[in-house]
Structures are given as structure tokens and as C-alpha cells.
Chains A and B, each alone.
Chain A
Amino acid sequence: MFFSDCEKIKQIKKGFELTRNMQISTLLYGESNIGKKTLVKSIYNNATWIDGGDFSKIKNVLQENSEIVIYNFDIHRNYDSEDFNNKKIIAIANEITIPDYIDSLFGFIYKMPPLRERLEDLKFFIDKYTKEANENLSKKEILNFDIEKINLNDNIKSLKIDVYKKVAFNNLEKNEIQDILYDYFKKNLQGNNDYVKFLNLFEYPLIVAGLEKYGSQLKLSQILGINRNTLRKKVNENGIN
């Protein structure tokens, strides 16, 4: 199922639907993992789908079919423009700049915006992957996400990883945290000053979370039961603002 509340994507979908029964070649491009394939699949599921990386097969497919979706479309190849006439061709590419030659090949060229430019879609994906992660990991977590902290560098893919991590790591038992640290230390202990080095693993999240929760170093030093000068020193050592 394809979903988007983004106005630009609604317009792309409208364009696809208006030309649904026309023999027009269309290019849909944009960053990886933004839902291009899912969008095209929601309209052209019954078309012949072919991987654009398999250039040798494309020629035959173009000659034998009239409705084709080419995913991983390689915009730097030399295509025969005649192959793009009088056919329904939907090409999907990740490139974010399009050469003039490609520009002259397609009737319609749509640029799909990345996830960071359509924040209205975040809630849908967070809910979707939270539900999926809970099912897959047999958990029942209800999470609050700080949207600004979600990694959108790799669009839906990095958002999904963030959601899965959050679901997996939420409400861990003490022994589960110890198990994780056990594996980590076993893998990484190898220096001659590692006690100080790995103390940071414990101190950094403790101080950051404490400061966020209690607001001041004075209050936090009371909560932690340490001298405020000691806390200030540790804040500086751990590079915490």
C-alpha cells in the first residue's frame, strides 16, 4: 500500500493517474528509499517490471511489451529514443540530476521529494514500523519519538532502523543491558587504558539523560550523590554541552 500526505507526491500520483491509459514514457527520480517503487507499484502492478541494470534484456523487453516499468534505471546509458515512443514506460532512477538527453526522452519527468522534505509523512512510517517491530520482536512498546532526532539520511531505511532499535532497546532489563555490554567489551577490549576509555559508555548516557530529566548540574549532582565539582569535571571530560 502506498501512502503519502505530501502535496507534491499527491500531484505526482494525480499525473500518473491522468495518463494511466496513455502511451507516454515517464521518469520518476529521487533519492534512495523514498517510496518510488511502492508508488509506481500502486498504479502499475500488472506492467512488465525489469531491472534497469540488466541493460542487455531491456532492448527485448521494450520491443515485446507495451507497458513496462524499469527500476534502477541507468540514466547514463544510451537508449534508442524510438524504443520510448508509443509505449507506456515508467522508469525509476535514484539520480538527482538528469542529463539533457534523458530530458528529451521522457514525456513526463517527476522528482519525488526525500523524506526530510515531507515531515507530514513521518508519523505514518513511525507507526507502521513500530507496529511491525513490535510484531517481529514480540513486544508491546508504545513509544514517543522526537522527530528531530530521527535519522533521515537514508530516508525510510534509516527511519526504520531507528524505530526497530528503539522498540528493541526500550524497557530492557538490567541483565539484558549487561549482556549487550558483555558482548561489546569482549569484542573491543584490547588497549592498556581501557577502564577509563570504556567508563564513558556508562557515564555519557547517565549524565545526558540526567541533565535532560533534572535540568541542572546542581540538581543532578544531588540525585547522583556526587560532588557538583566532580559532576562538572565529568561533563567536561565527556564533551557534554
Chain B
Amino acid sequence: MKMESIDFRNFIENDSNPFVLFDFGGHIKYLNNSAEILLGYINPKVLYDLALEYAPKSYGHKNILSNLEFDTFSFFSIMVGYEDDENIYIRLYNKPLIKQEKNVSKEMLIATDVNSLLEANITLFEMQSDTKLSLFVDQDLPMFKIDQNSFSKIIRKMLTSFIGSQSLSIDLKLLFGEYLVLGETKYQILELILKSQKRDTSNDDEIMQMVQQTCFSCQTKKDVFKLQLPIIL
């Protein structure tokens, strides 16, 4: 089999692991689809600096096991390599995601004005904490179906972890171009982001367990919760 006749670029182009090729000045010469999405969230210089830091001492390739997190992206390893003095590449390997099969029982879901429900939760939080709030919500959100009690329990627990924080930003927005897949159906996503300088993380396991029992998905970090809700109409 003549290997020269195979165009390997397509394999890299469609790989789910981000791949970026830089020139010696740090300019991007090539990036695949996954890297394009990643660079929507982080500055390319971060990746270039990473490549320089972990570049092998001489021409070749080096694999480094390291947990890296950029916004919602998590990687368990990177590979850095160069074969001349003009180009250097970095490839980041996605952490495997444990896929959870979630069944959506629509009988349990009730059409809800999520802004009112969020406001009631914020009111409760304000009774317990002097934290300064900045609120960014979309008042034109449609009514959509959620399990109201579970949503409230999760939000209450999340907000509790910010009691005593100096400030808290609450951001509720529709995500465009991203979807949550439940069963056979794709749903548009409403994302709630709770962010502060720091928070109490001792209830995170409990919160994640509560989220597992719903059709929501959630990412936690030491300063932020990102809760994604499917817009079920």
C-alpha cells in the first residue's frame, strides 16, 4: 500500500482532539475543527506558550500527561513536536466523558417562567447573604418545561455555596449552535452561570448527584457553576 497516496490532513481536520500548528513567531498556520472551537474560548497565545514550555529539547515529539482545563474543556494530555525550526505543533487530548443515559419523563416537567423561579431563589439567597449580585438574564425567554422542584433544590444548593462571597454574577442565557441530546431528541440549551472569586465547594458532590437525577448537565469549578438546561417546549 502506497502511504504517499493517502491525504492524512483529513484525519487531523476531523479529529475531536484539538490540533494547532504555529510558525516560529506564534502565528497559527493551521488548526483543525476542534481547535477552532477551543480558540473561541481561549487566546491562541496560551496554547503557543504551552507548546514552547513543553517542546522537546531537540527535533521530535513529546507527550506530556497533565490535567488541563480551559473553560468547559478538559484535557488529560498534550503532545508537542517540531521537525524543523519553522513550525511547532500542539495536540490536546480530550478527557473521556462518561456518557449518562438520561430518560426524560415529560410528565414530571411543567411549563415554567424560569426567570420568576430564579428570582425566587435569588430572593431566598439575599435573605442569607450580603453578597453583591450582578444579574444578567434574558427576560424574553420562552416558557419551557422543567422539573420545578428539582431545579429549585439544585439552585438553592448552588447559591448556598456562595454565601459569604463578596460578589456573585448570575448569567442566564440561551446558547446558540449547541445542543443537549436526550434520548433521540436534540434540545437547545439555556445556560445558567453562577460565578464568584471563590466559593464553598464542600457540597459539590451532592449537587452533582442531584443534577444526575435530572435532565440538566452541570460543570463545577472552584469559582463557578455552569448549569445547562434543555429547552423542552
Contacts and interface: CB of A to CB of B under 8 A. Distances in A.
Interface of A: 8, 11-12, 14-15, 18-19, 22-25, 84-86, 104, 106-111
Given A18-B117, A19-B116, A22-B117, A8 B149 contact: no
Nearest to A107: B152
Given A18-B116, A22-B110, A106 B123 contact: no
Bin chain B's interface residue count. 20 to 34
B124 A15 contact: yes
B122 to A, nearest CB: 9
A65 B222 CA distance: 42
B205 to A, nearest CB: 13
A109 B156 contact: yes
A103 to B, nearest CB: 8
A110 B124 CA distance: 7
A-B interface, 8 closest residue pairs, ranked by CB to CB distance from nearest = A107-B152, A18-B120, A107-B149, A15-B120, A15-B123, A22-B148, A19-B120, A18-B116
Interface string B90-112: 00000000000000000010101
B123 A86 contact: no
A8 B123 CA distance: 9
Contacts of A104: 153, 210
B126 interface: yes
A86 B110 contact: yes
Contacts of B116: 18-19, 22
A74 B61 CA distance: 66
Contacts of A25: 149
B148 A24 contact: yes
A108 B120 contact: yes
B119 interface: yes
Interface in B150-171: 150-153, 156
Contacts of A22: 110, 112, 116-117, 148
B127 A11 contact: yes
Nearest to B209: A104
A23 B123 contact: no
A11 B123 CA distance: 6
Contact of B153 (A12, A86, A106): A106
B110 to A, nearest CB: 6
Interface of B: 108, 110, 112, 116-117, 119-121, 123-124, 126-127, 147-153, 156, 210
B148 A23 contact: yes
A190 B119 CA distance: 66
A24 B117 CA distance: 10
B77 to A, nearest CB: 38
Contact of A12 (B108, B119, B127, B210): B127
B152 A108 contact: yes
Contacts of B151: 107
Contact of A107 (B110, B119, B153): B153
B156 A107 contact: yes
B125 to A, nearest CB: 10
B154 to A, nearest CB: 9
Contacts of A84: 149
26 contacts: A8-B127, A11-B123, A11-B124, A11-B126, A14-B123, A15-B123, A15-B124, A19-B117, A22-B116, A23-B110, A24-B148, A24-B149, A24-B152, A84-B149, A85-B108, A85-B147, A86-B108, A86-B147, A107-B149, A108-B120, A108-B121, A108-B124, A108-B156, A109-B156, A110-B127, A111-B127
Contacts of B153: 104, 106-107
